[in-house]
Amino acid sequence: MGRKRPATAATFFAPVFRLSEGGDKPGFPAHIPSMGQYFEVVEVTSDDLLRGLPKKQLWVAAAPPEQAIALVLAAVPEGWTAVLTDDQLEPDQVELLNLTPGDVRELTR
């Protein structure tokens, strides 16, 4: 992985989390305007340990960097952390994901 930008708070066919379909985290609008054609890869770290290490996951968010982390954190258990990666998806990968602005999907399972 490339350099990560810290923040607090597999497969391409994993379920998509859409806020407009009733995410379970309060305080997030069902529609977030002006997300454009951004696809940010986010590394998520769990707060529970497996063999003494936290579990890590990769997610993609169809949102600009400043909104991607909040969207991913809304889809994972409370207490987990997320950082943006410098990873980029190839155009054919983006097409397979079929995400609309504001969607997030776990890439690793």
Q: What is the pTM of this model?
A: 0.68
What angle is formed at CA 50 by the lines to CA 46 and CA 53, rounded to 5 degrees?
70
- Return the domain boundaries, the chain: 1-17+35-109
What is the Cα–Cα distance from 29 to 33, expressed in whole angstroms? 10
pLDDT at 7 over 70: no
Cα separation values, 104 from 49, 53, 72, 109, Å: 24, 25, 6, 14
Q: Is the pLDDT of residue 83 over 50?
A: yes
Q: What is the pLDDT of residues 91-100, one digit of tens each?
A: 999 999 999 9
**Tally of CA atoms within 13 A in the half-sphere of 70 that contains its CB:** 12
